[in-house]
Every structure is written in structure tokens, then in C-alpha cells.
Amino acid sequence: MSDAKLYPPTPEFAAGAHADADRYREMYAASIADPEAFWAEEAKRLDWITAPTKIKNVSFAHPDVSIKWFEDGVLNVCANCVDRHVESRGDQVAIIWEGDEPGTQKEITYIQLHEHVSRFANVLKGLGVTKGDRVTIYLPMIPEAAYAMLACARIGAVHSVVFAGFSPDALASRINDCGSSVVITADEARRGGRTVPLKANVDAALPHALGVEKVLVVEHTGAQVDMAATRDVWWHEAAAGVDDFCDPEPMSAEDPLFILYTSGSTGTPKGVLHSTGGYLLYAAMTQQYTFDYHDGDIFWCGADVGWVTGHSYILYGPLANGATTLMFEGVPTYPDASRFWRICEKYKVNQFYTAPTAIRALMGAGNQYVEGHDLSSLKVLGTVGEPINPEAWNWYNEQIGKGKTPIVDTWWQTETGGHLLTPLPGATATKPGSATLPFFGVEPVILDPTSGQEITGNPAEGVLCLKDSWPGQMRTVWGDHKRFVKTYFSDYKGYYFSGDGCRRDEDGYYWITGRVDDVINVSGHRMGTAEVESALVAHPKVSEAAVVGYPHAVKGQGIYCYVTLMAGQEPTEELRKELRDWVRKEIGPIASPDLIQWAPGLPKTRSGKIMRRILRKIAEDDFGALGDTSTLAEPAVVDDLIANRMNKG
Ligand code: 6R9
């Protein structure tokens, strides 16, 4: 694919950009040659209470793996995102909020943000929250989500944001894992003209999360909700009784900033822990360079704050840089498929960042939804979350970017805090479908999955690992450092293992080929197949289940479930629907099965291991390539599965 069409930056764009090709090369070389000097200099972009003198202290090879950046530095994340802008740009809008219903909007200046966040911090203190405590945030995409996160950072509490689409069970397990005693929620969320009963979900979760002492409730839709007398507190009532001044807590650079749960190939979701100094620095720097962000730009990241993309590129990165960041409550297709473009036009958005699944859905809706909207303010377009297919890339480029707006395909993970592979819009000639080249300080390597040896030279194909640390890297799995070491550092000693397969072409460009583990990527949402399986087998009529991904035109991957029923159960359409609803209830709507195939048996080895490789091939409609089936205990099972394969959704 090295012959793929190249889209170089225009000379005009390069001339005005933070980095052109030469600058990128120089800075990249410097960042690898002397990381200490490079990052000591970059650290100056933050306001430190005590500037760091110890820059990097990392060992990937140590049996316990230790990662520390700027360890003797002292700072406060909220002061960096809010207070320091109050003097220089206090009246500038910090957050533009666009509600689900067209016509509902708010603009919050840095001065106002400072007041809201300070009050929020004082309310949390009043509820007994102190430095190091964990606070679970289960909120819709409303400004209060930003206030809540920044308020935690202000007082040194560790936030754990749980996506508002997760079920009460998923919420309870995340509350329990990190031991939060306070939950922040709203009466309801609003999405695409519908409402989600968030407070009722919290009420349903709390009998399974007994450590919660206080629930702070934001009034959003005004719906009637139950309030438990001693436990539940209305945010607006509590806020009326506190001061709008609250000193930011001095934090060590290595103190935890937040926990964010993410799916792996085994077990329950992991609490990815991010640090204070390194994370903020990396989010800020990537937001500036990857999107070529300049003062005064209107920046829109269309993710949800429940995912890492929302943390780094709605909140922390843009606000650390003093940007105007746009927060959108709704969905791309409500009231119709022109919503994104209407918002871009309305606010004269300069940088727009979304997921390939949204681009594919809007492409499918037709160009009439784009036509007639003035998109001339757009300077950079971004994508994230999954590989982007060239058709979607071309549509984005032609219809939205009008053939002259650079597209940055950013590869990164919850674990990485910010972009690791990405073009810089003034520096990198792009190729549709490639995340191109490493960001400053990032050393990607491709390893042979069998020998674990680095494949040098081009082209190369194998698993993607990182040779050394970058400041935004996660520090541990909350409460389980052993799991951190085992998940990321044990398969390939001395490297961080991403879990992704990757190809490097003749030009040294990286092409992500997808996960090599049992993680699937559905509409840019990451999910462990094991989580869906355990939800299915929890149903009384299900005896066994195996879940794999399959190619899906809009979602990227769909969820394909093989289900074996308990003896005597009838495989009916009603039961299919019941199982779909069951999984939605157990995990949330994003985990809803696309296809359920009744399987009288699952292909297993003689030792009883399910042969997922075969199930994946059947789901992909690739029967010719089933591979070695000699270890199957009952080969006839496979013939049955092939004969009854479900049609693609
Ligand atoms: C930020 C985020 C991480 C996984 C990652 C990979 C996939 C993300 C991608 C991409 C191809 C891109 N992924 N960006 N694949 N091209 N530009 O998405 O974090 O939810 O943790 O998912 O998503 O498989 O390993 P997270």
C-alpha cells in the first residue's frame, strides 16, 4: 500500500503550522536522542508550583515495571486548565455547550468556569471528599460533567467517569472496584430526542454498591426522581450554600488524576490510572500539534466524556491550552443527519474530531445533508477509535474537507492518554487509512508475534509495541499492579504491548490492522468478548456462549454471538429478542448483539477450550480458511455452524 495516494500538506498550511515537515523531523529526532532534555523543555508549557528537576524515571524491563515522569514537580491540573487563563483570557468562552435539542445552548467563559468549578469543589468538600478519594461521575454531556471532573482535580480527588450509556450493573461494579463513596449523576440524560433515567439507574446500582454514602444530583431535564433523605443531595441546593472560592490543592506530578475503566481480553474491565503531570502535559501538547490548534480557534471533539477521547480532547488538552472547546450532548443523526454540519456552521468550528463509524453513518445518509452548509471554517479534520476505511476517508475529505482540509487519523488508546501515531497536519503527507508516523517521543516497534523479535526494515508486519515510555502513559491498573504488568509487559519483555496488529509500509508509515486479542471494536467502542459472553451465560436459558466480531458496514465490527441453550429450551425469535434485551440491560445498549446464532455445540479442543479462531472465520464468512481443525473434539459441530450461519446485518 506504499503506492496509496499521498496527500501532502499545502505549502500555505505548512507555513502557518506549528510544525512543517522539517520541524517535525528535527523535533522527533531530538525527542528520541535526548528525552530528558526534550521533555524538560516541554514541561514549561504547564504552570508548576514546584518545577520538576527529575524528568523521566522509567523501567519497562523491571519485573514490577515502574513509570514516573516529572516526579518531584508539584502542580494542580485544574489551576492549569482554568485559573491561569482567568487573567489573560477571562472573558473568552471556555466551553460552548450545544444541547440535544437544536436551539438549546450555553457559553461559559473562563471566569464563569472558575466560579462553577470552585463551587463544585466546595460542594464535594462539604460531602466529605478529600485528596485521594475516588468520586464516580455518571453524567450526561452537560457542562456540569466538566465542572465535576475539574472540581475533583482541584481538590485532589480521583475521578472515575462512567459512560452514561452503561447499565446499573456495570456502574455498580465500577463503583465497587475503585471504592467511591460519592457518585455524581443527573436526573436524566437526553440523547437523540430520548431520555435515559440516570438517577433511577444509580438507585438500581446502589444496592450492589454499599460503600456509596452520598449521591449528588444535577437537575437537567427536570424529571421527577426519588431522592433518599440522608443520601441524595441536589447540586443546585448545595451550590447555593457554598463559596465560589476554593484553593487548588498542590499535587505531586505522579499523584493520580483519574481512573477510566476499559475492556481487555479477559476478566472485568480494568481501571486505567492516569497521572497528574505527565498526562496533562501530553494531552495539551498533542491537542496543540495534532490539530494544529492556535489561540482563538474553536475546537470540537465529538466524543463523549465517558471515553478517554472526551477526557483528553474535550476537557484536559483544550482547556490546558486555553481553547474554546465545544461539548455536544446529542447524536449525529438527530433531528437529522445534518446535525454535525449545522453545528460546525453555527459556531464556525475550526477543528473537528470524530470516529469512522459516525463518518460511515453520515456518508450512508447521503450528501444532501452536507450540501448547503458553510463548512469553510474547518481547518483540520480528525478521526479516532478504529481503522478508517478508504471510502469513508475519501468521503470525509471530499464532502466535509472539500479536498483541502488535512485529515489526521490518530491511533491511541485509553492506556496511552493521548495520540501515539498521527499525522501532523502541516508536516505529514497522509495516506487514507494509515495513522502514519509517531508523535514526538514515541518509539513504535513491530514485533514478530511468535519470536518476539523486533522486525527492522520495511515493509514489516506483526504486533505493535512501544519501546519506551511517553509522559501520558497509564501508570497502573487501579488496585492491581500485577495485572498491569501481566497485561502490557509480559508477552514481550521490555516493551509495552498495545494489543493491536500493525503493518509498516516501505515509507515507514504505520497501518493498524486491528486487535490481536479478544477485544472487539464496535462503533469505536472497545469491548471484551468475554464481557458479552458472561452476560449471555447469566441468562437462565443459556448454557454456553461464544462471542466474536465480524465486519459490519457502519459499526466497523458487529457482535456475533453463538449461543447454546439449556436442554429443552426452544430457539425462537422471541428468545433472540429477549437475549438482546438482556445483554443491553446487563452491560448497556452499546453491547447489544447484532447476530445470534443458535449453536447446538461449540467447537472445542479436547481439553475443552473454545476454538475462537474458527468461530471468527465462520462469522467473517471465510470458510475456506478455517485452518487447522485437527484438534477439534467434535468436527461435526463446525459443519452445523457453517450450514446455519447468520446473514450479515
Ligand atoms: C482512543 C481510543 C483503543 C483501540 C486501539 C485500536 C483502536 C483507536 C485507532 C484505532 C485504528 C485508529 N483504535 N484509534 N485503530 N486506527 N486511528 O479509541 O481508545 O477506546 O481504549 O481503544 O482502538 O484497536 O487499541 P480505546
CA-nearest residue, atom 3 of ligand 1: 413
pLDDT tens for each residue of 475-497:
999 999 999 999 999 999 999 99
> Does residue 20 carry a pLDDT above 70?
yes
517 vs 591, which has greater pLDDT?
Answer: 591
Q: Does ligand 1 have an atom closer than 6 angstroms to the CB of 261?
A: no
pLDDT tens for each residue of 114-132:
999 999 999 999 999 999 9
pLDDT of residue 542: 93
- Distance (angstroms) between ligand 1 centre and the Cα of 512 equals 9
If pLDDT is split at 50, 70 and 90, which confidence band does 499 have?
very high
Nearest alpha-carbon partner for 292 in 40, 472, 23: 23
- Residues annotated within the binding site for CoA are 191-194, 309, 523, 584
pLDDT of residue 266: 72
Segment 445-473 mean pLDDT = 97
Atom of ligand 1 nearest to the CA of 309: 1
pLDDT tens for each residue of 170-184:
999 999 999 999 999
> Does residue 162 carry a pLDDT above 60?
yes
pLDDT of residue 116: 98
pLDDT of residue 3: 54
ipTM: 1.00
Per-residue CA distances from 202 to 157, 173, 321, 520, 582 (Å): 21, 12, 34, 27, 18
Segment 557-567 mean pLDDT = 94
Q: Does ligand 1 have an atom closer than 6 angstroms to the CB of 386?
A: yes
pLDDT of residue 648: 54
DSSP 8-state code for residue 258 = E
Atom of ligand 1 nearest to the CA of 498: 25
CA-nearest residue, atom 10 of ligand 1: 386
What residues have CB less than 8 Å from 212, skipping those under 6 apart?
175, 180, 181, 182, 183, 206, 231
Segment 91-116 mean pLDDT = 98
Distance from chain centroid for Cα 599:
34
Are 358 and 400 spatial neighbours (Cβ–Cβ below 8 Å)? no
Q: Are β-strands 232-234 and 56-59 bridged in parallel, bridged antiparallel, or unpaired?
A: unpaired
CA-nearest residue, atom 4 of ligand 1: 413
pLDDT of residue 582: 97
Q: Does ligand 1 have an atom closer than 6 angstroms to the CB of 308?
A: yes
Q: Does ligand 1 have an atom closer than 6 angstroms to the CB of 262?
A: yes
CA distance 585 to 471: 38
Are 69 and 417 spatial neighbours (Cβ–Cβ below 8 Å)? no
- Distance (angstroms) between ligand 1 centre and the Cα of 412 equals 5
> Does residue 627 carry a pLDDT above 80?
no
The CATH number that domain 518-644 falls under is: 3.30.300.30
pLDDT of residue 254: 98
Question: In the predicted model, what is the mean pLDDT of the chain?
Answer: 95
Q: What is the dihedral of CA 172, 174, 179, 181, to 10 degrees?
A: -50
- Residues annotated within the binding site are 191-194, 309, 385-387, 409-414, 500, 515, 523, 526, 537, 539, 542, 584
Mutate to test the pocket of ligand 1, among 386, 421, 428 (most ligand atoms within 8 A of CB): 386
Mutate to test the pocket of ligand 1, among 526, 529, 590 (most ligand atoms within 8 A of CB): 526
Are 31 and 467 spatial neighbours (Cβ–Cβ below 8 Å)? no
Q: What's the pTM value of the predicted model, to 2 decimals?
A: 0.93
Atom of ligand 1 nearest to the CA of 421: 17
- Residues annotated within the binding site for ATP are 385-387, 409-414, 500, 515, 526
Q: H/E/C letters for each residue in 548-611? A: EEEEECCCEEEEEEEEEECCCCCCCHHHHHHHHHHHHHHCCHHHCCCEEEECCCCCEECCCCEC
Classify the C-alpha dihedral 495-454-383-351 as positive or negative: positive
Alpha helices in 206-324 (DSSP H): 235-240, 277-290, 308-310, 317-320
pLDDT tens for each residue of 253-272:
999 999 999 987 777 889 99
Per-residue CA distances from 188 to 193, 222, 395 (Å): 12, 8, 35
Segment 244-254 mean pLDDT = 97
If pLDDT is split at 50, 70 and 90, which confidence band does 649 have?
very low
pLDDT tens for each residue of 575-590:
999 999 999 999 999 9
Are 328 and 95 spatial neighbours (Cβ–Cβ below 8 Å)? no
pLDDT tens for each residue of 376-405:
999 999 999 988 988 999 999 999 999 999
